[in-house]
Amino acid sequence: MGQFPFEMKILSALQIRELDAFTIEHEPIKSIDLMERAAQECFDWIINKYSKEHSFKIFCGLGNNSGDGLVIARLLYQAGYKVQPFIIRYSDNTSDDFKINEVRLFQLDLSLVRNVYQISDVQKFEKNDVLIDCIFGSGLTRPTEGLVAEVIQLMNNSKQATISIDFPSGLFADKSSISTNAHIVTADYTLSFQLPKLAFLLPENEKYIGEVHIFNIGLDQSYIQDQETDFELLEIQDVKQLIQTRKRFSHKGTFGHALIAAGSIGKMGAAVLASKACLRTGAGLVTTQTPTSGYSIMQIKLPEVMVQQDISKNYISEIANIENYDVIGIGPGLGTEKSTQKGLKKLFQSYKKPMVIDADAINILGLHKTWISLIPEQSILTPHPKEFERLVGASNDNFERLRMQSEFSLKYNLFVILKGHYTCITSPDGKCYFNTSGNPGMATAGTGDVLTGILTGLLAQGYSELHACLIGVFIHGLAGDISADKMSQQAMLSSDIIDNIGAAYKLLELENEK
């Protein structure tokens, strides 16, 4: 889902309105001309997507977002497409730019616009109709009701292809919509402008927004850069400049010694995946601590890794020789045995450097929440949603969960990487980064273990905790994208991601050369 073609902050709906106003005042450009610019981008996309065999039913409210819809209607009509704009007359008030574009349509064809005063005023849809939703934009603050809600319900029930302009009508940009019981347009495509909205990035809204396309309409860049926001998208432009080049006289000690503490009886694959990913990411030395039953597996599968055997046969009970390592990654396939729990607590009490904590190590923390304060500051936790819930508690919606994640990072001075489609990184300074690489093919066993290895490998090389998070999450997703291109999303294995870490690095190098 989605195309985000340039660096972007994520601003609130209020900030975006202020950005529009600032651009109009300082470019200078009239608001009616800015509307024309936005509608032209949408028109170009629409005619590239659909032939003249299709007809377009455009649903407009009475504000500026609906003005966009009237411009799109005019452009389609002038290009020879079949188009029918519907204006939902839920009020007597209209914006000035809406009125201007309504008059322009009347000048083309007095019979073109159809007014909707009741739901029966909307004619039956035909097979090739494409519905365009321009009723409300991202500034909506209250649930839809009355005639508008009826029109939205009719659109959704029709099963026609639906395009929302700027934002699906009825959806909120900066807060959850799922508890409102309001009608919300379920778009197949959302065509939005300049910057993404926070709602685009949260799973609860996937069914409403469809595939998102963001168009650059020339809003003032200096104003965007001056805006304070806790939310940003992480893209290839951000990551490529963080990659360190290797000096010619480097040696394996230059790039750190990492310990991966992972595996238990029946789960040694997790240790193999995390350790191999750590090596492939560039750590100079990797030691893996495993139960004694995993010794042969590690030696055979990964001859490049040194193996430190636990005193226990089937699980890890105590992490030894911690002073030898620059960083420790712990959790994949660990299990939650009582002895493992005690060993993890002892590690937290004795190891003072930031570490990477994943999987069963997080589940153990969920059983002993008072131990969270023992975790070395600036450590990185990598839960999936259920692990996060065990650690921090349940939330009512994704917006609340995001707030809880950020508050957790702030309270304990930790980085939290909440895994998902737009993996979310929260940092101790209150910032939140949404990753844009990756694909649904990565929803397979072991991909979290790979991420743990990547992050541990980056910390071993001396990257800061923040940069390790940003680079690690992006490379993980990018290697997943390369794997999907080669294998298909359905056939991907987590080991394919490891095999394509090198290709991901190469792509970042090529980007740096541009």
Q: Which of 286, 281, 277 is nearest to 257 (CA)?
A: 286
- 134-183 per-position pLDDT tens digit: 999 999 989 999 999 999 999 999 999 999 999 999 999 999 998 777 89
Round to whole Å and give the CA distance between 121 and 4.
38
Cβ neighbors of 269 (< 8 A, separation 6 or more) are 333, 446, 449
- Let me know: does 170 contact 195? Beta carbons within 8 Å: no
What are φ and ψ of residue 419, in 5° steps? -75, 140
Q: Are strands 424-426 and 432-435 parallel, antiparallel or unpaired?
A: antiparallel
pTM of the model: 0.95
What are φ and ψ of residue 72, in 5° steps? -60, -40
Q: In this structure, what token pair is assigned to residue 271?
A: 């240790």
Round to whole Å and give the CA distance between 127 and 394.
44
Looking at residue 513, its pLDDT comes to 77
Q: Which of 197, 207, 149, 245 is nearest to 434 (CA)?
A: 197
What are the chain's domains?
13-229 (3.40.50.10260), 239-250+332-513 (3.40.1190.20)
What parts of the chain have a pLDDT lower than 70? 1-7
Looking at residue 511, its pLDDT comes to 85
- CA 136 to chain centroid: 24
Helices (H) and strands (E) in the chain, counts: 18, 17
Strand partners, 433: 232, 425
Looking at residue 8, its pLDDT comes to 80
Q: Which of 63, 139, 65 is nearest to 99 (CA)?
A: 63
Round to whole Å and give the CA distance between 366 and 385.
13
- Let me know: does 107 contact 74? Beta carbons within 8 Å: no
Round to whole Å and give the CA distance between 281 and 463.
12
Q: Which of 377, 376, 394, 396 is nearest to 385 (CA)?
A: 394
